Amino acid sequence: MNNSYLERAKKVITDPKILSIVAGKRARQLAWGARPMLKCDSENHLDIALLEIAEGKLYYTEGGENTEVDIFADIAASADAVSGDEEKEEEK
C-alpha cells in the first residue's frame, strides 16, 4: 500500500473506519473487473481505490437513521456483469 495515497485519502475521508470500508469496497469492485476511474502507477487495487478517493473521484454519503445499505450488492452486480460478459463471449 502506498502511504502517500493513504495520507491524501485521509484528508478527504477523515474517519478511518469509513475510509477503510469505502476503500476496501472499491478495491473489491476493481478486483471483480470494474474499470479504474483514473490512471495509477500501481496495479494494487487498494492503491487505486485510495487514489480515487484522494482525487475526488470516489466519495460516500451517509444514510439516514432508517437507511439500510447492502454494501455487497454492487459487488455482486459487478460479478454478475463479468460472468455475463464471459457467457456472451463463449456464445460467439
**pLDDT in single tens digits along all 92 residues of the chain:** 788 999 999 999 999 999 999 999 999 999 999 999 988 888 899 999 999 999 998 878 876 555 555 656 666 666 676 666 555 555 55
| Domains of the chain by start residue, with CATH | 3-91 (3.90.940)
* Nine cell digits for residue 18: 469509513
* Environment class of 25 (CB within 10 Å of its CB; exposed 0-12, middle 13-18, buried 19+): middle
| Rounded Cα gap, residues 36 and 48, in angstroms | 7
Helices (H), the chain: 3-12, 16-31, 45-54, 73-91
